[in-house]
Each structure stands twice: as C-alpha cells, then as structure tokens.
Amino acid sequence: MRRKVYRLLDRVAAGWLPSRCLLCGGGGAVRAHDMCGACEADLPWIEVACPRCGLPLDAGAAPVEDCGQCRARPQPYRRCHAALHYEFPAGELVAALKYQGALAHARVLGTLLADSVARHAVHGDVDVVVPLPLHTSRLMERGFNQSLEIARFTADRLDIVVDGRALERLRATTPQVGLTRAERAANVRKAFAADRSRVAGRHVALLDDVVTTGATSAAAADALLAAGAVTVDVWCVARAAA
C-alpha cells in the first residue's frame, strides 16, 4: 500500500511541481530521486572495496576475496556492500536525516543505495530487506527509524520485500561514536533478537545507514542467523574508515 501511495504522489507531483536537486537546488532532478545528474556524479562513490567487509580499497587495486582485516576478524555476514564513502556530502545527508528529521533525504539515500546494489549485482538471491532497528526508547525520542525509512525506498526500487519487524533491539546501548573497536563489539553483543517466523530459510539483506567497524552489523547478523536466516548481507549507504 505504501508503495502505491508514494508512486501516486510522484505522478501527481510530476505534473505540478518543478523538480529540484536536494544538493544544489537546481532544476533537472530525476523524479523520485531528488538529485541532478551532475551532483550524483560528484558523490563519493565507492568503486573498489573488499567484498566481505565493504572497506574501500585504493582505486585500481586488484580484486580480492577478502582483505587483511577480514582475515584477522571474520564477520558472520556473507558480505557488506556500501554505496558511498562516509564523507561530504554523504555524511551530511545522513546526519540531517537522523538528527534533524530531514525525512526527504531517506528517498534520495535509499534510491542511491538501491542503484549501487543493482549496479554491483549483489542482490540476486536476497529475499527480504531488514532494517537495523532502534531500541524503543530511541525510537520514541527520534520519532522514526532512519534505517527503516531508507530501506523502504531501497526495497521498493529493487522490488524486494522490506520487513521492519523481523529484528528487535533488546536493550538501549551506548552510542558507538567514540568507542574503540573492542568497546563497540562489547556494547552491542547480544543486543538483538530476530523473529524466526520471519527470517528462517531466507536470504536477508540487513540495511543500515552507516557502517564503521561492522560491530553492530555483526551482532545483528548473529541474531538473524541464530533465527534461521540462510545468509545475511549488509547494505549501507556509507562506509566509514574503521
């Protein structure tokens, strides 16, 4: 139903409102994308990355199955795909969505992520997109889950089901910003539980806005796999340097 509403609004808006780019404010933005071609081309796209953890590699680097970081610290998820480097303007778009309630950013971020996933062809066997959940207390404070808002547009563009109830955050954790790698892992250990009836036997794409060390994604992937998910991939808008 939500998909039909968004598509109807787009058709109505296309006839009455001029398209504007979210970044430069100029015309020529692609409908349902909110960004002009020039600004999209200038985004900090990740072109080469470790296919296991999504860590960006130097341009021109030879393809690898995994990087040294993956071999030193294996993750439970099958692979991580990130669309953008966590730098301007990606970081600002994500921050405005999360902390300023700029919900219009969810559409452009979700669309950009979907296009990157499709371009790199990493969604072939994915059955369901599961957004990383917020704890109830944080959800009440913020009023929305930014990962769910992004996931709706990503899943819609890729024609995959999104399930915002498949994964639950069991406890409120300390914000990960400023914590060491070991502290991040300890902070989110056993912080999630998945609904077996929703994920068992399915290939899951776990969607988050930003991945740094992968500790939160790993804890969530552990819960999904424990509930019977066949595989878990991580999709994120931006990848920060670990």
3-state secondary structure string, 187-241? HHCCCEEECHHHHCCCEEEEEEEEECCCHHHHHHHHHHHHCCCCEEEEEEEEECC
Peptide bond just before 74 cis, omega within 30 deg: no
Q: What is the mean pLDDT of residues 55-76?
A: 82
Asked if residue 182 and residue 99 are part of one domain, the reply reads: yes
pLDDT digits (tens, 9 = 90+) for 191-226: 999 999 999 999 999 999 999 989 999 999 999 999
Q: Alpha carbon of 229 to those of 72, 107, 167: distances in Å?
A: 25, 28, 12
Nearest residue to 84 via CA among 218, 219, 235: 235
Asked if residue 174 and residue 208 are part of one domain, the reply reads: yes
Asked if residue 144 and residue 183 are part of one domain, the reply reads: yes
Phi then psi for 37, rounded to 5 degrees?
Answer: -60, -40
**Extended beta strands in the chain, E state:** 79-85, 128-131, 161-162, 167-169, 192-194, 203-211, 231-239
pLDDT digits (tens, 9 = 90+) for 177-200: 767 778 777 778 889 999 999 999
Asked if residue 136 and residue 24 are part of one domain, the reply reads: no
Nearest residue to 50 via CA among 25, 30, 77: 77
The pLDDT score that the predictor gives to residue 1 is 54
Asked if residue 72 and residue 35 are part of one domain, the reply reads: no
| Number of folded domains that form the chain | 2
Asked if residue 226 and residue 138 are part of one domain, the reply reads: yes
Asked if residue 117 and residue 26 are part of one domain, the reply reads: no
Asked if residue 59 and residue 148 are part of one domain, the reply reads: yes
CA 44 – CA 32 distance, rounded (Å): 21
Show the domain range for 164.
Answer: 43-239
The pLDDT score that the predictor gives to residue 227 is 98
> At residue 110, what is the residue type?
G
Asked if residue 5 and residue 61 are part of one domain, the reply reads: no
Q: What is the average pLDDT value for the chain, to the nearest integer?
A: 88
pTM: 0.89
Give the domain CATH number at 208: 3.40.50.2020
Biggest distance spanned by C-alpha atoms of the chain? 55
Asked if residue 222 and residue 135 are part of one domain, the reply reads: yes
Phi then psi for 236, rounded to 5 degrees?
Answer: -140, 155
Compute the radius of gyration of the chain from its Cα atoms: 17
The pLDDT score that the predictor gives to residue 22 is 84
Asked if residue 52 and residue 31 are part of one domain, the reply reads: no
Asked if residue 152 and residue 69 are part of one domain, the reply reads: yes
pLDDT digits (tens, 9 = 90+) for 120-158: 999 999 999 999 999 999 999 999 999 999 999 999 999
Q: Which structure tokens are listed for 39?
A: 């600004």
Q: Which structure tokens are listed for 23?
A: 């970044």
Bridge partners of 207?
A: 131, 235
The pLDDT score that the predictor gives to residue 29 is 65
> At residue 90, what is the residue type?
A
Q: What is the mean pLDDT of residues 48-63?
A: 84
